[in-house]
Amino acid sequence: MSTFSSETAWLCLAVTAALGGLVLCKLKSPGQVGGKGVCLAGLWGGACLLSLSLFWSLILFSLSCFLLYTYLSGQELLPVDQKAVLITGGDSGIGHALCKYLDQLGFTVFAGVLDENGSGAEELRRTCSTRFSVLQLDVTDSQQIKDAYSKVVQKVQNRGLWAVVNNAGILGLPADGELIPMIHYKRCMDVNFFGAVEVTKAFLPLLRKSKGRLVNISSMAGGVPLFKMAAYGSSKAALTMFSAVMRQELSKWEVKVSNIQPGGFKTNITGTSEMQEKLEKDILDHLTPDVQEEYGQDYILAQKNVFKAVSTYASSDVSPVLQDIQHAISAKSPFTFYTPGSGAYLWLCFVSFSPTGIFDYFNKKFNYLNNGTPRILSMPNWKNKAM
């Protein structure tokens, strides 16, 4: 190798090292930003080294590091400056934890709760700062939404509202789609979708004024067809599409929209044992005799075991969700989608890009919500009888 070529190669190595170091510094971002950035840079660098000469590999890898550094510069967090944020569903679970988390960071937090006199609301009042406010806000009640809007306007005045986080949600009844009563389909849509839409419409004038953020908490189940989640998944899929449309329509107002699609996390979304027993009773009360006969009493009653399975495979550490929401609220250029939780991103990619038959095969293989076989399907020669 000539002296010139040797010096050029060493120069490229030095530039690559310098840019790589800058990228690693930038990758100290909340949530999943850092991990994905490292993966993309590693894959790109490996592809370059395997397919090109050393010189051009280093050139292209340096270019990729530079572009990644430029991109991640937009992920720097804006100063809090007591920015005002409205969070729905603050009574418990992720919403409750998020209220405390953002309050500690210095945000002015408005916690919309289902019961302003409940234990969750009382704990927030006791533990949060003087900036914190609790609002009675059932997202299915139009009058409560209007009242909450008036109270927020009164407090923020000219500062405006920086962000709305539509977090309120219910799981409904996790069971075979045919077994779920229509009342539970409608309830899931009322809370998970229509409630978020109405809250968004009510507070958008304040977000447009501040050029702020709209953050919708959807679910991995809104993009991945999971067993037993027909009602819940459908409502979250609707919310995901709503977010995508609003992202485009609000861009002219410089309002940024992000959709959070978490994997499994332990919250009280499954409800108390009393609530679960009521859901079980609702199944039996709404099924026709023919459907009850074909599924069988044992199979139907076993649906309550789905709640235990959901809790068993869920993570108790909700910090990845909180960090991603913080990033969506605070980053100069927030992401469109966030997928906190183990396996959420991979499952969403898998269902998007794999053939349907392959996805269905693996979905059945890894289905941890399976709880037996309907009575008629366990009978010998049931296929012949059906014909």
Cα–Cα distance for residue pair 29/75, rounded to 1 Å = 7
Q: CA separation (Å) from 250 to 65, 71, 167, 201?
A: 31, 22, 20, 12
Place of tokens 């014909």: 387
Hey, what are 117's tokens?
């006199």
Query: What's the CATH code, domain 84-365?
Result: 3.40.50.720
What is the total residue count of the chain?
387
198 half-sphere exposure, CB direction, 13 A CA radius: 19
Predicted confidence pLDDT, tens digits, the chain (387 residues): 455 455 555 555 555 555 555 555 544 444 445 555 555 555 555 555 555 566 666 666 667 666 666 666 667 899 998 899 999 999 999 999 999 999 999 999 999 999 999 999 999 999 999 999 999 999 999 999 999 999 999 999 888 899 999 999 998 878 899 999 999 999 999 999 999 999 999 999 999 999 999 999 999 999 999 888 999 999 999 999 999 999 999 999 999 999 999 988 877 665 566 766 777 777 888 888 998 889 888 888 887 777 777 767 778 889 999 999 999 999 999 999 999 988 888 889 999 999 999 999 888 887 766 667 888 877 776 655 555
Q: CA separation (Å) from 319 to 40, 309, 324, 375?
A: 23, 22, 9, 42
Q: Which residues are catalytic?
A: 232
CB atoms within 10 A of CB 77: 15
Fill in the amino acid letter for 300. Answer: I
Shortest CA distance to 33 belongs to which of 333, 348, 349, 343?
333
CB atoms within 10 A of CB 133: 19
Strands of 105-262, DSSP E: 108-113, 133-136, 163-166, 213-217, 256-260
pTM for the structure as a whole: 0.81
